[in-house]
Chains A and B, each alone.
Chain A
């Protein structure tokens, strides 16, 4: 991704295939979610509970994380702490080297995308294969996921058929999704048989029992965490929840918001490696707790609700900007509204602040969020900070808003301005922005709204007399 954000947006907007793929997918997912939450009262009640559980957990992170660590250790799970991506990658590499592993199989995990684990392991001659069908497709085409739940959402069936033909030399009948999935199944089963390390993310980690919860449909998550002799789980430190009683609420909110399913095919609770009397399961389980900027977010009173996120993807599914430009244009691991607030906080406003521009503050993401993160407000706060901290105080935008403020503060000035606007309405102004390249500049009315209202009420009162 060397192009600038605006170039990538232009490219995405000019790609009719991409736009139709996203339009179709977003309509599908929104509709499924709407049906899953058809009971408005239930939705409101669940959302309140979900938000309360997450906020409470974020408030108690030090306590819950140390409890989780202790319980995991008691259960025989080895716990590692990683301050950043480098730390986390090196921990994985260390385990792989210790076992002379050359093949790693991975279940879908956005945290591993965040630390770019695949690329890192590849540099050290360790092959890391994605086993989620969508992730496998994306990896096959040397791409990154364009959606956090459905990684290959930007491709349609025909494009995937062609990809399999080109990269794997396997042709399948046109439009035959079952055949494509069959191909993936056969190839990846071999990998599950061969791989000596399985890597997964964590959807929720239960502190008081030391349990890792994984939510999935395909069974690749279960295979990745069962077939290889070593399982490494990577989780952001915010994913901890106090106890299993919090799980039903969060599970309902997560799967319904993500794909409109009341539950996924599998919910996998892992609390221990293979015990001496057991016959299968990994012989060692490692849990890596990744900070990578999260602890600092938790200390920011205005922004800490960012960490409540359960990664359902509903915000991007409902975002009019995401729907039009797709996930790749953002150029960040997490696209859409959650990516717009998370990425600048993880990587700095200076570097990633321009992501915040891609928002109309329409509010759809905030309404869709199942844990009541006020995404539009967070975007607004970050925009403000960017303006204050990063931009020069006298940018053109600041100047325009300064004038706007003056005009709206003083009624006389306001009346004068509107009067002039009406007076010179037929002048064709050359604006310094790109706005008019694709749009017609609106023409001020002959009479301002105030004048029109005055006349209106005058004629009305005369008529009443």
Chain B
């Protein structure tokens, strides 16, 4: 292995001049001058364009809307994370809305929960740490409380987002990220639509491998 490494690096250094390392100006032209309301409006517009269902709700009674969504769509088995007070609230609202609704917490490890994850879950709820208005993008940072599979394997994925966490564009996010670059989280996922594909004759189809439905609750 070291042999290959040395050989490759030697080849690469054959003629390399002292590095250029010039400063590259990175700008994002669009939507830099939006106020909070415009940013929110743009974000909602883009999310809807991307085929997500969007609810702009009051942070005091958003659980009622969630329970209604669960009843309307007959989503009975919910996958929830751990130790997040907003999610605990959601769980209580769901179970009190109907006796048919049950909650599974992602507490055991993936190997233990695997069969359930693949076969028994109707929907999940996770938090978004930030969002990008320009493209209608949610930024999730999975961790031990909200493992990676939660936003990936259930057919319906619900995301909670605080309206104040919406940024205008991607460049702003990386200039001031909700994570530490010196200690990167294991995984960061940007989600902009339900899973989709256009691999068959350029025809757009939703629900390729990941969630078929993406529902976003923006808390005022």
Contacts and interface: CB of A to CB of B under 8 A. Distances in A.
B56 interface: no
Interface in B108-143: 108-110, 114, 118, 134-137, 142-143
A265 B193 contact: yes
11 contacts: A160-B201, A177-B200, A219-B211, A226-B152, A237-B8, A245-B174, A263-B135, A267-B137, A272-B187, A280-B147, A301-B15
A292 to B, nearest CB: 10
Contact of A280 (B28, B148, B201, B211): B148
A228 to B, nearest CB: 11
Contacts of B30: 39, 42
By Cβ-Cβ distance, the 4 closest A-B pairs, closest first, are A219-B210, A134-B199, A280-B110, A295-B11
A295 B8 CA distance: 7
A271 B27 contact: no
Interface of B: 1, 4-5, 7-9, 11-17, 19-22, 24-30, 50, 106-110, 114, 118, 134-137, 142-144, 147-149, 152-153, 169-171, 173-175, 177, 181, 184-203, 205, 207-211
Nearest to A184: B208
Q: Classify the interface of chain B: helix, strand, loop or mixed.
A: loop
A422 interface: no
Contacts of B152: 219, 222-223, 226
A140 interface: no
A256 B13 CA distance: 34
A313 to B, nearest CB: 13
A60 B107 CA distance: 45
B198 A281 contact: no
Chain A CB within 10 Å — which of B7, B24, B181, B191 has the most? Answer: B24
Given A60-B20, A218-B197, A81 B11 contact: no
Interface in A324-367: none
Contacts of A441: none
Interface stretch (A117-125, A207-215, A376-384, A405-413): A207-215
Given A189-B118, A266-B191, A133 B197 contact: yes
A131 B200 CA distance: 14
A155 B4 CA distance: 40
A177 B148 contact: no
B76 to A, nearest CB: 20
Contacts of B143: 278
B186 A271 contact: yes
A270 B152 CA distance: 15
Given A81-B5, A271-B185, A42 B210 contact: no
Given A56-B20, A60-B19, A193 B11 contact: no
A280 B143 CA distance: 9
Interface of A: 21, 24-25, 28-29, 39, 41-42, 45, 49, 52-53, 55-56, 59-63, 65-66, 75, 80-83, 87, 131-134, 137, 150-153, 155-157, 160, 177-178, 180-182, 184-185, 188-189, 192-193, 208-211, 217-220, 222-223, 226-227, 237, 243-249, 251-252, 259, 262-275, 277-281, 289, 291, 295-296, 298-299, 301
A156 B142 CA distance: 38
Nearest to B6: A81
A133 B208 contact: yes
Given A42-B29, A263-B170, 11 more contacts: A25-B201, A42-B30, A131-B209, A217-B197, A243-B181, A247-B170, A248-B169, A249-B26, A265-B194, A281-B186, A295-B12
A219 B187 contact: no
B196 A245 contact: no
Given A83-B4, A209-B184, A279-B109, A185 B147 contact: no
Contacts of B106: 279
B181 A208 contact: yes
Given A83-B8, A178-B205, A270 B195 contact: no
Given A59-B17, A181-B200, A299 B11 contact: yes
Contacts of A243: 181
A270 B187 CA distance: 5
A150 B199 CA distance: 6
Given A62-B16, A220-B209, A279-B110, A263 B144 contact: no
Contacts of A60: 16, 19-21
